[in-house]
Amino acid sequence: MKNYLASRSKQSLSKTDIIAIANKAKLDAAKGNKIINASIGTYLEEDKTVGYLPVVKETLTKHITDSLGYSNTIGDQAYLNGVMKYVFEDKLEQINKIYAPFIGSTLGGTGAISIIFNLYLEEGEAVLLPDVMWTNYMLLAQQAKASYMTYKMFNNDNRLSIASIRQTIRKAFLKHQRAVLVINDPCQNPTGYCMDQQEYDELFKMLNEEGKKGQLVVLFDIAYIPFAHVNYDQCPLAGKLAEGNTSFLSLICFSTSKILGTYGLRMGALIALLDTKNERDALAASFAKIARGTYSVPVSSGQAAVAKIFNNPEKVNQLHKEIKELSDRLFKRSILLIEKLKEYKIEHYPYHCGFFVTIKVKDAFKLSAQLEQEHMYVVPMNKRSIRLALSGLTEVEIVTLIKRISELN
Ligand SMILES: Cc1ncc(COP(=O)(O)O)c(C=O)c1O
pLDDT in tens for each of the 409 residues of the chain? 788 888 888 777 777 788 889 889 999 999 999 999 999 888 998 888 998 999 999 999 999 999 999 999 999 999 999 999 999 999 999 999 999 999 999 999 999 999 999 999 999 999 999 999 999 999 999 999 999 999 999 999 999 999 999 999 999 999 999 999 999 999 999 999 999 999 999 999 999 999 999 999 999 999 999 998 766 678 999 999 999 989 999 999 999 999 999 999 999 999 999 999 999 999 999 999 999 999 999 999 999 999 999 999 999 999 999 999 999 999 999 999 999 999 999 999 999 999 999 999 999 999 999 999 999 999 999 899 999 999 999 999 999 999 999 999 8
* Distance between Cα 220 and ligand 1 center (Å): 12
* Distance between Cα 110 and ligand 1 center (Å): 6
Distance CA(188)–CA(171), nearest Å, equals 24
129 burial (CB, 10 Å; 0-12 / 13-18 / 19+) is: buried
CA-based torsion, 86, 87, 89, 91: positive or negative: negative
The conformational region for residue 158 under phi > 0 = left, psi -120 to 50 = alpha, else beta, is left
Within this chain, domains 7-52+326-391 and 60-315 share the same CATH topology? no
Q: Omega of the bond prior to 236 within 30 degrees of 0, cis?
A: no
* Distance between Cα 235 and ligand 1 center (Å): 18
* Distance between Cα 284 and ligand 1 center (Å): 23
Question: Does the domain made of 60-315 have the CATH classification 3.30.420.40?
Answer: no
DSSP H or E segment with residue 328:
helix 313-343
Distance CA(131)–CA(382), nearest Å, equals 9
Q: Give the number of the atom of ligand 1 that is nearest the alpha carbon of residue 111.
A: 9
Do 207 and 218 touch, CB atoms closer than 8 A? yes
The residue whose C-alpha atom lies closest to atom 5 belonging to ligand 1 is: 109
The residue whose C-alpha atom lies closest to atom 15 belonging to ligand 1 is: 223
Distance CA(382)–CA(363), nearest Å, equals 9
Q: Give the number of the atom of ligand 1 that is nearest the alpha carbon of residue 134.
A: 1
In the structure, which protein residues have their CB atom closer than 6 angstroms to any atom of ligand 1?
A: 41, 108-110, 134, 184, 189, 221, 223, 255, 257, 263, 268
The residue whose C-alpha atom lies closest to atom 4 belonging to ligand 1 is: 109
Enumerate the domain spans of the chain.
Answer: 7-52+326-391, 60-315
pLDDT at 14: 75
pLDDT at 124: 96
Cα 115 versus chain centre, distance: 15
* Distance between Cα 109 and ligand 1 center (Å): 5
The conformational region for residue 135 under phi > 0 = left, psi -120 to 50 = alpha, else beta, is alpha
Pick the CATH number of 7-52+326-391 from 3.40.630.30, 3.90.1150.10, 3.40.50.150, 3.90.1300.10: 3.90.1150.10
Instruction: With CA atoms as reference, report the closest residue to 146 among 168, 126, 174.
Output: 126
Q: Omega of the bond prior to 190 within 30 degrees of 0, cis?
A: yes
Between β-strands 126-130 and 147-151, what pairing exists: parallel, antiparallel or unpaired? parallel
Cα atoms in the 13 Å half-sphere on the side-chain side of 355: 26
pLDDT at 232: 67
Number of CB atoms found within 10 A of residue 345's CB: 8
* Distance between Cα 143 and ligand 1 center (Å): 16
pLDDT at 16: 74
Number of CB atoms found within 10 A of residue 198's CB: 11
Distance CA(318)–CA(226), nearest Å, equals 13
Distance CA(64)–CA(262), nearest Å, equals 12
